[in-house]
Copies of this chain bind each other. A is one copy, B any other.
Amino acid sequence: MGNITIRDIAMRANVSSTTVSRVLNNSGYVKDTTKKKILNAIKELNYVPNAVARSLSINKTNIIGVMVPDLNNPFFTEVVQGISNVADENDLNIILCDSNENFLEKEIKYLKMLKEQRIRGLIITPTSEENKYNSMYLSLLEDLGIPIVLVDRDVKHSSFDGVFIDNVKGAHEGTEALIKSGHKYIAIIAGPNTSKPGRDRLVGYKKALNSYDIPIKDKYIMHGNFKLQSGYELTMKLMEMEVPPTAIFSSNNLMTLGCVKALRRLNLKIPEDIALIGFDEIEIFNILDLNISVISRPTHEMGKLAMKILLEKINKESSDDSPTKRLILSPKLLLKGSEKYNFKG
């Protein structure tokens, strides 16, 4: 396996392994000529340092853990890429885990493996909140004894660093855009009540209506589960109402897809027959010229920022001397026309 070692090249260069180590790590003084001899030997023997041995020796690895709940969701792959870019620049390797939104069967197991691997830090989007496990979750994470940065989702009662999105603001702006376009009958396909981002987006929706003195109709508030099918079904229900909305605000990308699917089946054109704004971008909309306005999040940037925060923590010797850093980024409203008011119903 890792046959050739630091000692081999030490012998080859007629020095001690300490000296070799020094040039490897650029630490301490080494005469230029001996340095060259060593570098030569390294090349000739095609030596590759053993990170495992190094990690054991200095008692820290250069591996971080990244746990996401769904690699099929482009949002997370983009976050991962952002993380990866910054990690690369800092010689950190990534063990990537897909918890598949499964706390009990996947996430716990992965956290244990990561602990065994003695990862240096962890960036994690926790599985959706399940209150009954909250305290177990907290102690699992704390027991890792390493810097942790949350992405997109918080852990209740925790004080981990994190990079989040201002969901209230995003939903507010999206809803406001519909209002400004002239809509008054605005429905929302909300997330489940158990989801903080879901609740926040609903809050933003209500705030917007309030500030424009538009009455909030409970009938227009539909709770889905962030999946495609629920977006589809709820849209169907909305459009079957006696007074259907003239505009829909959808709380995430998959439900927006479901919504679009339903509207297509109903033969309703966007925005001529019904206006629509969704939370989170979907690339395919642009490709197919569907022109759906969306609240977009800086996914790549979120990953980069998370990794940068983690780096700071990692580099502080005493993990306590840097204050908790919780970034709350603003999403961006991208208007493409689907919010227009042309209602001819």
Contact = CB atoms under 8 A, between A and B. Distances in A.
Contact of A113 (B74, B93, B115, B118): B93
B261 A116 contact: no
A98 interface: yes
Contact of A88 (B59, B71, B74, B109): B109
A266 B296 CA distance: 29
A50 B118 contact: yes
A112 interface: yes
Contacts of A117: 51-52, 63, 93
Interface in A137-165: 143, 145-146
A72 B71 contact: no
A260 interface: yes
Contacts of A53: 56
A95 interface: yes
Interface stretch (A214-222, A282-290, A320-328, A333-341): A282-290
Contacts of A261: 287-289
Interface string A46-60: 101111110110011
A94 interface: yes
Interface string A88-132: 100101111010000000000100110111100000000000000
Given A74-B72, A109-B88, A228-B287, A118 B59 contact: no
Given A2-B59, A50-B118, A51-B118, 19 more contacts: A1-B118, A2-B118, A50-B56, A51-B117, A52-B55, A52-B117, A53-B56, A63-B95, A71-B80, A71-B81, A88-B109, A91-B113, A93-B113, A96-B96, A228-B287, A257-B284, A261-B289, A265-B289, A288-B288
29 contacts: A1-B59, A2-B59, A48-B112, A48-B115, A52-B52, A52-B56, A52-B61, A63-B95, A63-B117, A72-B74, A72-B77, A72-B78, A72-B81, A77-B77, A84-B98, A93-B113, A93-B117, A94-B95, A95-B95, A95-B96, A228-B287, A257-B287, A257-B288, A261-B287, A264-B288, A264-B289, A265-B289, A284-B284, A288-B288
